[in-house]
Amino acid sequence: MEKFNLEKYISRSGFASRTDARELILNHRVAVNNQTISDLTYRVSEADFISINGIPINLIEKVRLFMFHKPRGCIVTADDPHDRKTIFHLLPKNLPRLISVGRLDFNSEGLLLMTNYGPLARYFELPENNIKRVYELKLFGTWNENNIEYLKKGIKVDGMQYQPIDARILSRKNNQIKLECALHEGKNRELRKIFTNLGLLVPKLTRTSYGGFFLGSLPQGQIIECKKFIVDKILKNAQLI
């Protein structure tokens, strides 16, 4: 039976990244067959009983990554106390348990990455990993010619400092503007808050790409799985395997 380094086993279970797994082991929070282990060289197999803080963990069969076209009018959560429609009502029932990479708000649409592997989701989300997100917005209102420069410098709204945003006008007719925005950070409702602060309405916001994955012609409400060699390359580059 194949043996794994304990920290690698924890990472492959989806519980934590290898870096976080080391900390868990060193902090005496990992047990193998009910015995606390703090040795980073300790090796285990699938026959062993591994737990973290008393919670059993198991290897996932394989790391999977999906692209989902989130439609407007649903929320990105597994359970909503207000009983609104969630993205999980739209997903096929034969998929594994998935978590979303970041979120899109109720009125936004577009590309949402989903995975069965927590450390991969965290890798995509962490600002220090500098993952590029691109959005297409339809705006309505009076456009200030200095807005592009404001966005490039970064803007503070209600005490929150937002990082620089690369923006370009795709089309403009009277008070209707179509804009593309690229950013490397995704604070809650960031673009809506920024453009509202600039005196503009945001009737439509679509995420068109995330970390080199593109929405393309994927229909709303549909999900497709990314090729294994692409996922393996990301895992290797992110040092998750």
Q: Within this chain, do residues 116 and 232 fall inside the same structural domain, yes or no? A: yes
| pLDDT: which is higher, 12 or 48 | 48
Q: Within this chain, do residues 93 and 143 fall inside the same structural domain, yes or no? A: no
Q: Within this chain, do residues 186 and 136 fall inside the same structural domain, yes or no? A: yes
Looking at the predicted structure, is the pLDDT value of residue 8 above 90?
no
Q: Which two tokens stand for residue 195?
A: 């453009």
Task: Give pairs for 236-240: CB < 8 Å, separation 24+.
Answer: 238/120, 238/123, 238/129, 239/18, 240/11, 240/17, 240/18, 240/63, 240/117, 240/119, 240/120, 240/123
Q: Within this chain, do residues 9 and 45 fall inside the same structural domain, yes or no? A: yes
Phi/psi zone of residue 130: left (φ > 0), alpha (ψ -120 to 50 degrees), beta? left
Instruction: Give me the active site residues, please.
Output: 105
pLDDT at 241: 66
pLDDT at 1: 65
In the chain, what percentage of residues exceed pLDDT 70?
A: 99
Q: Per-residue pLDDT averaged across 105-118, rounded?
A: 94
Q: Within this chain, do residues 109 and 226 fall inside the same structural domain, yes or no? A: yes
pLDDT at 3: 84
| 166-218: pLDDT as tens digits | 999 999 999 999 999 999 988 889 999 999 999 999 999 999 999 999 999 99
pTM: 0.80
Looking at the predicted structure, is the pLDDT value of residue 79 above 80?
no
For the chain, how many structural domains are there in total? 3
Please state, as a whole number, how many other Cβ atoms lie within 10 Å of the Cβ of residue 118. 17
Residue range of the domain that includes 10: 4-57
Q: Which residues pair with 183 in a beta bridge?
A: 133
Q: Within this chain, do residues 109 and 87 fall inside the same structural domain, yes or no? A: yes
Residue linked to tokens 């739209």: 90
